[in-house]
Structure 1
């Protein structure tokens, strides 16, 4: 009796030595399209941002057109040096050695992303993605972000005290604080965040192991980094230099517009304003820091229109002019799969 199936002859059994060509691989069109979409997304966000805040860009450019161009060029130089300082802190916050060129490019891209999302979420997200592409584990990458944020906050305290002594006629720091409602919201957020984290760890058991890995990695890396001068020197040096460079941009714009305020007063005004308004989560600190900075400059006796023009010029140099190259670098890193 024949055992052949009724619908046709049986296919011959493969013999030893037969080599069948492999099936052709399907092109990775979805992944390629996704990568191209992500590469174009920063440019789309740039267009939306410009459309929403076009008046500030136009007014700032008009004010700066009559300013001293050499001081404005110095402000641009301080802005670029800020990327270098951020890259130093990022490298100092992680034991792994990172490629300097790509690290600097990632911080240029992170600076652009930082002006899109509040509370430095955009910059940290870009950095974590960059570290993961460099082979850094997720617990170590997130631990480096925590150490970066902690060191940046701690390094600003001695700077504030020093410039407070250098500029004793400063406006009262308490006057730079946001209103009571904003402070209550910020305090509630600070109190509820640890409580929410504790409840989440208690209820969701799968989160416990990653949280413990994060804490263990953070403590181990922090102790190890502070035994290596090649890490803690750029970590703390960059953290001290970063706010000074940002304050120097404000001072350069003030000098370009002939603001009747001394350089130490301008630096302290920025440090105090950025610290007092730092509890309010805004993209790049835009909004609360600007209002506090205008108030601080006016407290030094600067005319209000000139103080406002100084803040607008500072935003043009630190946000608008670097935003386009930052978005282009971000798109290029996405296209190269470095992010």
Structure 2
């Protein structure tokens, strides 16, 4: 004979305010401690980078202490203009309208994120997250980043060619070009990498559908962007302005430190060094800096002056904006803009 069922017990008393619901698993990302750690991680990253490079940072600061402050102030203005130009290119690469203030803040924060990942990946990661929070689908956001990178590299090459066509500095650069025996292996490796990247979606079936969707989205957005004169001006005008603004910053630093080269040669050296080795995935542009010092010396600057100018350029463009950039990045994370 079955025993009668036990009467239901009294309902559970509610816990104290703020106590977790035993029937509900708390979300890890909703935890206050995790959110705080995410907000503080850029600051910790900036502090670790400064400690790891303290000798270089100290040397650059000592050399810059005796520089002309007015030229350095002008260089700082060009650094701010570079962020504005980057924001113009980002907006020009996308048909959707983005909030200008948040877009500019995201590009300022992206500069700090570039120290975490090489080859501009940090800036692209921040921009991708910003576009996703603005309601842009992942495929279209990724396509806009690809268009940004393509237009920026193309515009930089065109600006370099324009300077070479109108400047006698091309003779000096001609002497710096590697011989055919050294250039052919590099071109072969680059061509092989491009062929392999293009063949992967064809050979691997799981990649075919995402790759096709990406190509369709990229082509559709590129056509729409280039059908709007305002977007074309923002995209290509900003892309052409970015290397010129960066080169102007180097000219200002060189003038402040007594580099002793005409501004045209400094601009050509900057464009040539960045175009030649800008694709090397080195954090902080180490390969670009080495090529830039070598090119400035080839134009007639002393090695000490060239090295000091490049260090000063990095201080002004990367190291000084690093702390405020990480603060902006943390603020955007806390505000859930990223």
Name the CA distance, whole Å, in 2 between partners of 1:291 and 1:178: 19
Match of 1:294 in 2: 293
1:55-94 correspondence runs (5 A): 55-94=55-94
Q: CA deviation at 1:99?
A: 0.4
* Structure 1 unmatched ranges of 5 or more: 13-21
- The superposition leaves residues 33-71 of structure 1 with CA deviations (integer Å, 9 ceiling, x where unpaired) of 332222111111111211121111111111111110000
Secondary structure of the 1:168 match is: coil
1:89-104 correspondence runs (5 A): 89-104=89-104
Match of 2:136 in 1: 136
Secondary structure of the 1:281 match is: coil
Match of 2:327 in 1: 328
Name the CA distance, whole Å, in 1 between partners of 2:29 and 2:158: 51
Q: CA deviation at 1:166?
A: 4.1
Q: Are residues 196 and 148 of structure 1, via their aligned partners in 2, closer, same or farther at CA, if it must alter by over 3 Å?
A: closer
Q: Are residues 183 and 244 of structure 1, via their aligned partners in 2, closer, same or farther at CA, if it must alter by over 3 Å?
A: farther
Q: CA deviation at 1:169?
A: 3.3
Name the CA distance, whole Å, in 1 between partners of 2:85 and 2:310: 22
Name the CA distance, whole Å, in 1 between partners of 2:85 and 2:92: 11
- The superposition leaves residues 76-98 of structure 1 with CA deviations (integer Å, 9 ceiling, x where unpaired) of 11011100000000000001110
Q: Is the 8 A contact 2:169 2:268 kept in 1?
A: no
Q: Is the 8 A contact 2:82 2:242 kept in 1?
A: yes
Name the CA distance, whole Å, in 2 between partners of 1:173 and 1:287: 23
1:210-249 correspondence runs (5 A): 210-249=210-249
- The superposition leaves residues 8-29 of structure 1 with CA deviations (integer Å, 9 ceiling, x where unpaired) of 12589xxxxxxxxx99977656
TM-score, normalising length: structure 2: 0.88
Match of 1:15 in 2: none
Name the CA distance, whole Å, in 1 between partners of 2:126 and 2:84: 16
Q: Is the 8 A contact 2:157 2:275 kept in 1?
A: no
Name the CA distance, whole Å, in 2 between partners of 1:30 and 1:314: 39
Secondary structure of the 2:96 match is: coil
Name the CA distance, whole Å, in 1 between partners of 2:277 and 2:310: 15
Q: Are residues 180 and 313 of structure 1, via their aligned partners in 2, closer, same or farther at CA, if it must alter by over 3 Å?
A: farther
Q: Is the 8 A contact 2:200 2:207 kept in 1?
A: no
Q: Are residues 23 and 115 of structure 1, via their aligned partners in 2, closer, same or farther at CA, if it must alter by over 3 Å?
A: closer
Secondary structure of the 1:302 match is: coil
Name the CA distance, whole Å, in 1 between partners of 2:63 and 2:138: 45
1:45-56 correspondence runs (5 A): 45-56=45-56
Name the CA distance, whole Å, in 1 between partners of 2:182 and 2:336: 44
Secondary structure of the 2:246 match is: helix
Q: Are residues 10 and 157 of structure 1, via their aligned partners in 2, closer, same or farther at CA, if it must alter by over 3 Å?
A: closer
Q: Is the 8 A contact 1:293 1:311 kept in 2?
A: yes
Secondary structure of the 2:169 match is: coil
Name the CA distance, whole Å, in 2 between partners of 1:200 and 1:215: 11
Q: Are residues 264 and 136 of structure 1, via their aligned partners in 2, closer, same or farther at CA, if it must alter by over 3 Å?
A: same
Name the CA distance, whole Å, in 1 between partners of 2:248 and 2:278: 18
Name the CA distance, whole Å, in 1 between partners of 2:236 and 2:44: 36
Name the CA distance, whole Å, in 2 between partners of 1:183 and 1:293: 23
